[in-house]
Amino acid sequence: MTRHHPVVRITHWVNAVALTIMVGSGLRIFNAYPAFARKGESFCCYPFEHTPIPAKLTFGGWLAGARNWHFAMMWVLVVNGFVYLSFIYLHGEWRDLVPRRGIVRDSVEMIKFYLILRRDHPRQGKHNALQRTAYFVMPLAGIMAVVTGLAIWKPVELAPLTGLLGGYVWARYWHFWAMLILVALTLVHVFMVFTVDPYSIPSMITGGYRDDLSPEARNARPFVHLLPRHHDAAPDV
């Protein structure tokens, strides 16, 4: 059974590469002025003004190199995101990815399960409530990154957009937040893939997935029930 359509698989990995390069080069650009304050002013809302990001986390080598990567890779990110969103809209996959009734209650149940305040894995469809939320917020944060990015790329030619976001300084701040959200969601996503559902990795490469090895079937929490449950394999007599 194919869990993910080839379009979803390809856009997933293109996105992984593009996003990594966008974040790395973006952090290198940020390091040229690791602060938000307009010269001669102070900035209220960032506690690490003038503290550079560790160079190891950056990409591009120097400001011009990072900018060249950033302004090239942005098109890959935008086109790829457009293909993905168009596809899941036209092909119906969006139904598994939008919040549905009871998403808050279901999310609370998932958190309770992960915190061992609940014994059994809540019932779910393709994704659990937390995944639905994450996979729904991810494209929104991506759109936020693109819109705020345009606003700080062209604050004069696209002045109305930059103004809408509160001006250049704030647009730059919101661009940074879009990156933080994308990075946080990605880190949690990768952690959960490896500690809860490593069987889903092939499903994002070849498309194959075995429902009898799903986290729900294994009653899996992070690091718990990683291996298939052997008693499930025994005959129900």
Partner 1 sequence: MTPRLMSDDRRAVRRTEALGHAAERLGVDRRRFLLAGGGALAAAVLAACDSQGPRSAKSLLMLAERKNETLERALFRHGSIDVPPAGAKLAGARFPSYFVSHSVPVWDTAARGEWRLEVGGMVRTPIKLSLADLAALPRTGYRLDHYCVEGWNAVALRTGVRLADIARLVGVQPGARYVDFRSFDSDYHESWDIESAMHPQTLVVYAQDGHYLNAAWGAPARIYSPVKLGYKNTKYLTKILFLPARTGGYWSDRGYEWYGGV
What residue ranges bind partner 1 (CB under 8 A)? 20-21, 24, 29-30, 32-33, 35, 38-41, 55-56, 58-65, 67-69, 71-72, 75, 154-159, 167-169, 172, 194, 198-199, 201-202, 205, 210, 212-213, 227-228, 233-235, 237
State the amino acid at position 53 in one-letter form: I
Q: 73-78: which pairs have CB atoms within 8 A and are 24 or more residues apart? A: 73/18, 73/21, 73/22, 73/25, 74/22, 74/146, 74/149, 76/14, 76/18, 77/15, 77/18, 77/19, 77/22, 77/142, 77/146, 78/146
Q: What amino acid occupies position 193?
A: V
Shortest distance, CB of residue 83 to partner 1, whole angstroms? 18
The least distance separating partner 1 from the CB of residue 111, rounded to whole angstroms, comes to 27
Q: Which is nearer to partner 1, 17 or 104 (CB)?
A: 17
146 burial (CB, 10 Å; 0-12 / 13-18 / 19+) is middle
Label residue 39 exposed, middle or buried (CB < 10 Å: 0-12, 13-18, 19+): exposed
Considering the complex, state which of residue 122 and residue 167 has its C-beta at the smaller distance from partner 1.
Answer: 167
Structure tokens at 25: 């080069």
Is 76 or 97 the residue whose CB approaches partner 1 more closely? Answer: 76
Indicate the residue among 67 and 118 with the shorter CB distance to partner 1.
Answer: 67
Q: By C-beta, is 109 or 197 nearer to partner 1?
A: 197
| Closest separation in Å from C-beta 85 to partner 1 | 22
Cβ nearer to partner 1, comparing 21 with 110: 21
Shortest Å, Cβ 103 to partner 1: 31
46 φ/ψ angles, rounded to the nearest 5 degrees: -135, 115
Q: Least distance to partner 1 from the beta carbon of 167, Å? A: 5
Q: Do residues 168 and 33 lie in contact, with contact meaning Cβ atoms separated by under 8 Å?
A: no
Shortest distance, CB of residue 3 to partner 1, whole angstroms?
Answer: 14
